Structure 1
Amino acid sequence: MEIALHLGAHLTDVSQMRGCLRDNADALGAQGVLVPGKRSFLNMMIDAATQGMDSAYAPDFTDRLREVTGADAATRRLILSAPGILASRPDITDGRNLYPDATARLAALRKLLGRHEVELFFCIRNPATYIPAVLQAAKTDARKAIETNLRSEELRWSPLIADMRLHWPEARVTVWCDEDTPFLWHQMLERIASCTPEGGFRNAYDWYDSIMIEGGAARLESYLTSAPPVDEAHRQKVIAAFLDKFCDEAKLDVDASITDWDEGHLDLLTALYEDDVDLIASMDGVTLVQP
């Protein structure tokens, strides 16, 4: 059985991606792709990731995973989408590393799922906007702990991606940037599902409401439905044109005032992030999806 693990990152539209896939569960199921609700598997996967072979779920793990998700003989691909598998939200960063506890969790999951064909999917985000978002979402104690240890210029995604390759070398790793999601949304749905439902993904354009003015997403859907793109490049060109006209900048703005960073520091973090993306793109066994 193929298993697609969509592991994050937190605060990068994971719930919307999972929600859209769930909206198409019946159509995907007709092609042997199962998208179970997060509640059915999350606690089991977290316990397995943190306890490994000592987990209460370890004996007959695959059978138990099939049981809780509803996978059966007709299931060729199982999609498990939840960033909590790699870390709880308070543990996203220790101030110097992103997902510092992921190494042990990846190694544990590999032991339990190693006989399956596993793909890892992960969306990264510029620390210049990511850390303010993490701090805003954190509870007081967690926020103070991050702020006390924060060395923002040391934060990189590449060590986490390298750990995925090191500790799960058989798994294919696919990475994309949150900043590129508007142009890659449909493509990532297709990649995670490994197929396209007949008639396309239902409600796929709802996500664009999160970045467009009212009515913009509906207009984009209407246009692309009436004039289907000839290829992915054409789709992205149309999306870019609609974003130029209907993007709601207020929905994209991230309030960095929770930090004491000035524009110069934000520019530095962005430059470091771009270098980090280039490093990830050069890694063997990693597919970096870009527009």
Structure 2
Amino acid sequence: MHQMTVSIHLGAHCTDEDQLIKSLLKNVNALQSAGVAVPGPGRYRKLIRTVLDKLDGAPPTPDAQDVLLEDILETDDAERLVLSHESFMSNHFNAVRHGVLYRNAGRNTHELRRLFPDHPVEFFLALRDPATFVPALFDKLNRGTFEDYTADLDPEELRWSGVVRDIREANPDAPITVWCNEDTPLIWPEVMHEVSGIEPQVRFKGGFDILSQIMAKEGVKRLRSYLGSHPPATEIQRRRILAAFLDKYALEDEVEEELDLPGWTPELIDRLTAQYDDDMIEIARIPGVTLLTA
């Protein structure tokens, strides 16, 4: 099989909730003509889990890669394969355990990367402010009390830079592209282009998929017609227009998260957010990491 790039979107949990695959699949013609395969998650999520469980940490045989790719791909001339699963780094339960974010991220991504020994692999990862990430995870797990869930957790110790470093050290040949979930409404088209490897000049459908979740319908309609009559000259200009419309038409309930959590004071939440911003600066400095910003 000829060499192709494998783009692996690692989540994280409680970020885009599979929207990336849905948005990309609105562009089947553009993907096909660029040789980009975006199989439906049903084709590979269980399959990869089964293969990894069977291997139990051992490297796969040379044939295993070919068998796996034959099961995932409908064609054997793809230039790029896009795989996405929020549980590639860990299941929900282990996303925050023993006071650490994704403590097995390095090991688990290494085992995943090893499934494709003959192909270059690139990782993609959306991060989220721990002040809202931990509560969102807790809501998803839907068990016990928030106090129990955060009992062995010092939220001020949670650092995404540790997760990104672990992945880099375990996979020195695999570059990582990261972005903040909070920025996705403004940078969604860029995320789609980066993951698919298709140059930005190719216009994608679905670029407003995230924006329209937090913006009034009327606003989205006006934004589309404004961009139609005043096409932005640059990406920066496009984002400024988006930000201005978002400012005016944002759905408050969707944008403002009400955090009423035992033991988590507004001061703590502000500190966590400030730390998260600093952590992004730290992440941008890690060699082999690209940070997409709004």
TM-score higher than 0.5? yes
Q: C-alpha deviations, 1:136-187, integer Å up to 9, x for none?
A: 1112159675322221111111111001110100011101111111221111
1:256 is paired with a residue of what secondary structure? coil
Report what 1:261 is aligned to: 264
Candidates 162, 167, 170, aligned match of 1:164 = 167
Letter in 2 for 1:100: R
Candidates 222, 226, 248, aligned match of 2:225 = 222
Distance 2:137 2:77 in 1: 40
Q: Residues 267 and 23 (structure 1 numbering): CA distance in 2 closer, same or farther, change over 3 Å?
A: same
Q: Residues 26 and 58 (structure 1 numbering): CA distance in 2 closer, same or farther, change over 3 Å?
A: farther
Q: Residues 98 and 50 (structure 1 numbering): CA distance in 2 closer, same or farther, change over 3 Å?
A: farther
Contact 1:49 1:85 in 2 (8 A): no
Q: Residues 174 and 69 (structure 1 numbering): CA distance in 2 closer, same or farther, change over 3 Å?
A: same
Distance 2:54 2:107 in 1: 9
TM-score, length of structure 1 as denominator length: 0.91
Q: Which structure 1 residue ranges, 5 or more long, are not aligned?
A: none
1:85 is paired with a residue of what secondary structure? coil
Contact 2:186 2:243 in 1 (8 A): yes
Q: C-alpha deviations, 1:111-149, integer Å up to 9, x for none?
A: 222321111000111111111111111121596753222
Report what 2:22 is aligned to: 19
Contact 2:147 2:262 in 1 (8 A): no
Distance 1:53 1:115 in 2: 20
Report what 1:173 is aligned to: 176
Per-residue deviation, 1:52: 4.3
Distance 2:19 2:215 in 1: 15
> Residues 130-209 of structure 1: matches in 2 within 5 Å?
130-141=133-144, 146-195=149-198, 200-209=203-212
Distance 2:226 2:254 in 1: 23
| The 10-residue stretch of structure 1 (119-128 or 201-210) with the greater mean CA deviation from structure 2 | 201-210
Report what 2:90 is aligned to: 87
Report what 1:213 is aligned to: 216
Q: Residues 206 and 114 (structure 1 numbering): CA distance in 2 closer, same or farther, change over 3 Å?
A: same
Per-residue deviation, 1:4: 0.4
Per-residue deviation, 1:82: 1.1
Distance 2:29 2:64 in 1: 26
Per-residue deviation, 1:54: 5.7
Q: Residues 231 and 48 (structure 1 numbering): CA distance in 2 closer, same or farther, change over 3 Å?
A: farther
Letter in 2 for 1:275: D
Distance 1:225 1:182 in 2: 19
Identity %: 34
Contact 2:39 2:72 in 1 (8 A): yes
Q: Residues 49 and 221 (structure 1 numbering): CA distance in 2 closer, same or farther, change over 3 Å?
A: farther
Distance 1:197 1:47 in 2: 36
Per-residue deviation, 1:199: 6.1
Contact 1:42 1:84 in 2 (8 A): no
Contact 2:6 2:122 in 1 (8 A): yes
| The 10-residue stretch of structure 1 (259-268 or 34-43) with the greater mean CA deviation from structure 2 | 259-268
Q: Residues 259 and 217 (structure 1 numbering): CA distance in 2 closer, same or farther, change over 3 Å?
A: farther
Distance 1:183 1:131 in 2: 23
| The 10-residue stretch of structure 1 (70-79 or 122-131) with the greater mean CA deviation from structure 2 | 70-79
Distance 1:29 1:52 in 2: 33
TM-score, length of structure 2 as denominator length: 0.90
1:257 is paired with a residue of what secondary structure? coil
Report what 1:250 is aligned to: 253
Distance 2:111 2:154 in 1: 29
2:101 is paired with a residue of what secondary structure? coil
Q: Which structure 2 residue ranges, 5 or more long, are not aligned?
A: none
Q: C-alpha deviations, 1:76-125, integer Å up to 9, x for none?
A: 00000111111112221115111122222122123222321111000111
